[in-house]
Amino acid sequence: MNKPKTLFLALLTSLISLIIPLANAASLPAVIKGNDGAEMVLIPAGNFVMGSNKVDKSKRAEEFGSIKPWYMDEHPQHIVSLPSFYMDKYEVTNQQFREFVKQTSYRPPSHWLENGYLVSMKREKLNAIPTKRLQYIVAEIFRIDIDTRKMNKQQLLSTIDEYFAMLDNVPVYNVNWAAARDYCDWAGQTLPTEEQWEKATRGPSGQEFPWGDTFQDGMSNTGEEEWVAGAAPVGSYATDHSPYGIYDVAGNVSEWVMDWYDAYPNSDYTSKLFGKRFKVIRGAGWGGNGHYALQMYQRGAYRLFVTPDAEKEDLGFRCVQTSPQGVRKNIAHN
């Protein structure tokens, strides 16, 4: 092939590769509502920087008693190209998960019994309970910090409704990997892959933290800055959002993703922990992942992992879907 022809073809190819994503982006809405009613944000097609080439020269991981060396499982930093997809703007909430539990008779998270949220599934039954009993429930079961002794029935019911409304917007937790996957299936979605999670939270250029490359205290619900009740209603930390507008990524609850904990392609790092033993979780949580080295846990490239059956009070999830319309699947009762 002669040179002008090659040049022409190269130009044409670049033009087409520029135009196709633009055309796709133009035809896709920037924000949609998922089948579960959750707001989802478009993450446009294209390249992003995944992983890192960083090295823990001063061996601080050992000093902190980390179960793995830092950074090595992020190697090598590499470019990944993904088609466009939608991701939940917030972590999946109690209210959304409650609808799933109702419709599929799924097992509810264990703490719904302890904090009384399970009662919200049959809220109308509270109307028939005598006032004295309601006073006891509000004070001792829901542990709402209020003097219930002189409250009448209507006041008690309103207090309970406000309490449920607050819990509605708290992310669901104490859900294992299969429950998170089943929820996403039910909503016509999937758990994000590590690639999808990392692109949506670090942006195309692979920044260190959702807000930029420099660590700042107090940006997310973690450690010292944690919400008094642990997990905060989603979106409570306005500064914890990615360049694409995905919220609560550095903190609040850590999030299940689809993948097993394994080496990245072309990595020369090996680990006995790799394989089909642990599922990756991403993003720091409000407490349980360690109060030390918070900066490390809030990095967008950081990979943590737990066994798929883990149910933790600082571990939740969010879902993705690859087109504006999700495809619902039937969920078997567990």
User: What residues line the site for Ca ion (CB under 5 A)?
Assistant: 248, 252, 283
Q: How far is the CB of 63 from Ca ion (least distance, A)?
A: 26
Nearest to 230 by CA among 156, 304, 174: 174
Q: Which residue, 88 or 182, has its beta carbon nearer to Ca ion?
A: 88
User: Would you say 120 or 189 has its CB closer to Ca ion?
Assistant: 189
- For the CB of residue 283, give the shortest distance to Ca ion in the complex, in Å: 4
Q: Least Å distance between CB 168 and Ca ion?
A: 18
Q: For residues 133 and 147, give the distance between their C-alpha atoms in angstroms, rounded to a whole number.
A: 14
Instruction: Name the residue nearer to Ca ion (CB basis): 181 or 318.
Output: 318
Closest CB to Ca ion: residue number: 283
Query: Minimal distance in Å, beta carbon 235 to Ca ion?
Result: 11
* β-sheet bridge partners, residue 40: 32, 88
In angstroms, the CA 173 to CA 165 distance is 17
> Greatest CA span in the chain, whole angstroms?
92
CB of residue 251 to Ca ion, shortest distance in Å: 6
Which residue lies nearer to Ca ion by CB, 75 or 318? 318
Q: Which is nearer to Ca ion, 78 or 111 (CB)?
A: 111
| Residues facing residue 33 across a β-bridge | 39
- Is-contact 256 281, C-beta < 8 A? yes
Task: Count how many residues are written for the chain.
Answer: 334
Which of 95, 135 has the CB closer to Ca ion?
A: 95
3-state secondary structure of 284: coil
Beta strands in the chain (DSSP E): 31-33, 39-43, 46-50, 78-82, 85-88, 254-260, 279-282, 304-306, 315-316, 320-321
Place of tokens 């109690």: 94
For the bound state, the minimum distance from the C-beta of residue 206 to Ca ion, rounded and expressed in Å, comes to 19
